[in-house]
Amino acid sequence: GFFAPFWAAYGEFGELADVGVAGGPIGTSLLWLYTFMVQIVLINLLIAMMTETYESVKENADNEWRFIRVSTVNEAAAAAPIPPPLSLPFLLFETIDVSLAWCKLKRVSNALQFGSRWSLSLYDPMSAAERTGGSNPRPDLVWQTNLGDEWMSERKDNQRVHLEELKALGEQTISKMLENQEILLSIKNSGTA
């Protein structure tokens, strides 16, 4: 009777008459108090989890915005300046331009891979601004040009390191050969003496 509204707050509408039989009103009061405290702890836990989720979303919001912004800019940069039927000449020109750039990069790559003495003359020494349109370059071309410059300088540094290693190995080999010749001469001289 009296505790029915308190239990109804927790969704208990079942056999409430049996709850008070064992311990009387004190048992019922303690059980209700325990359930009340558990509910408070669970609600605080829920609030803490929601706060943590909100904080993590808030921390990543700036990165998400930047990612979406870059995606939008890349999509706009890749779009043709005019509608599709009229953009065919532009697409043809861009296809030829990309093919020529790929062939040139492949030539440079092959020349560096096989150690050609003309490898440096195949690489265009113009600056990034000159290759990408002067004072107002397209960002995608600047990025590709900088990537090519980094790749080329890395390849040159690797070749320089390999040449220094080979030079050191050659010097070690020559010194060992000279030592062996001296040993052979000393053996020959001791055998004839």
Q: Model confidence over 115-128: pLDDT tens digits?
A: 554 444 444 445 54
Cα diameter, the chain: 128
Average pLDDT over residues 184-188: 86
* Cα angle, residue 121 at apex, residues 115 and 124 outer, rounded to 5°: 120
The confidence score (pLDDT) of residue 23 equals: 63
184: left (phi over 0), alpha (psi -120 to 50) or beta: alpha
Q: How far apart are alpha carbons 191 and 183 in whole angstroms? A: 12
Q: Is the pTM of this model over 0.75?
A: no
Average pLDDT over residues 87-93: 83
The confidence score (pLDDT) of residue 82 equals: 83
* Domains in the chain: boundaries: 4-76, 88-192
Q: How confident is the model at residue 53 (pLDDT cuts 50, 70, 90)?
A: very high
The confidence score (pLDDT) of residue 120 equals: 45
- Going by C-beta distance under 8 Å and a sequence separation of 6 or more, which residues neighbour residue 35? 10
